[in-house]
Structure 1
Amino acid sequence: MTTDAAVIQEAQTHALGAKGIVTMLQDVNVVTTDDIEQAGAILEDVKDRYKVLKKRLDEITKPLNQALKSTRGLFAPALNGLAEAESILKTKIGAAKTAIEQRRLDAAQAARRALAEGNAVIAASIEIERPPQDAAGVQFRKVWTFEVVEPERVPRDFMSIDEQKIRAFVSMHKDGAQIPGVRIFQKDVVVSR
């Protein structure tokens, strides 16, 4: 295994080399067929350097990634179990809070009904449960959320286009692809061999 200082030095050397290439290429004009051929040769060299550097990076990071994956695997069952336990408890606490609130509302309504009917003694005897309070490890707060109940009525501003699906559809159907509201076309991309 390489020492950290050696790896840092190696990475810095490669970074300086890459920066030099980028600086040089800023002034290169590619206009003619000959220019394209020369640029292609440079591109091939750049890709070769990239492959060598990527291989070196993988040599260093592969054992680290394997160790990380293995360590995460060791702790995953416990972490997943605790996350599930948290979810179960939050669900049960939330359900209990909702039930308590409903019982409180029902009791208050029964007391009001008894008073309206002139039964003050009965109204006074109705016990209204105290509301759930924050406790150690438990806090209640209100959050705004939503549920889509009629997707066809949701305004367009809240919709998003699935570019990945469109790209897959266009790749499969090519010039036969037609999607309303989408312009499908070919474009040239530079590919180096």
Structure 2
Amino acid sequence: RSFAIHGNNQDGWTANFGKSPFVIRIYDKQKEQEQKGLETSIKNRVELELHANRAEQVISEWFENDNLVEYSLSILYTYLWFVDEPIDEEELKGTHVRERYIDSLKTMPAWSLLTSLGQSMKFVRKPKEQSVDSILSWIMKYVVPSLEVLKKTGHWHEVIEAMDKANLSPEQEKLIKANLVNAIT
């Protein structure tokens, strides 16, 4: 019902289907990574952006049935469908014949291929190991501009106070100790 396409040939195209709390996003992952100076073998990417209840449903399905791939693909099948023929809006509006009409439409081969290949995918959680250098790089790129705004608007002292009161996780404490050991040696 709602979609937006933005981008260009140089930077790549992004298509968003739906609105928050539920968006299906398809974009040129290779061009996105090239702009960051990185390489990837992934050409295009399909993402589900979920918030609130939708996100909780997916997490519940993952924990209860360890079936995230099939569940995610069922979301794609339910909410996004590319067909190789014009859609008759009047037929689509009919409440009793809607499902029968949808089932009669011929799915676009590329969409069938994507969704069938998706069945063989697996979701794997591999947390990235952080380093002090990666944290510093991220802060410099994404946080420093916002800190500058706070400094120039008189809120810098609040940031310093919050840092002094921050509770660090065990992983963060380990990073500090490892960095101190490296500095001493």
TM-score tier (shorter): under 0.3
Higher relative contact order (CA 8 A, sep 6+): 1
Bigger-Rg structure (1/2): 1
User: Normalising by structure 1, what TM-score?
Assistant: 0.21
Higher share in strand: 2
Higher share in helix: 1
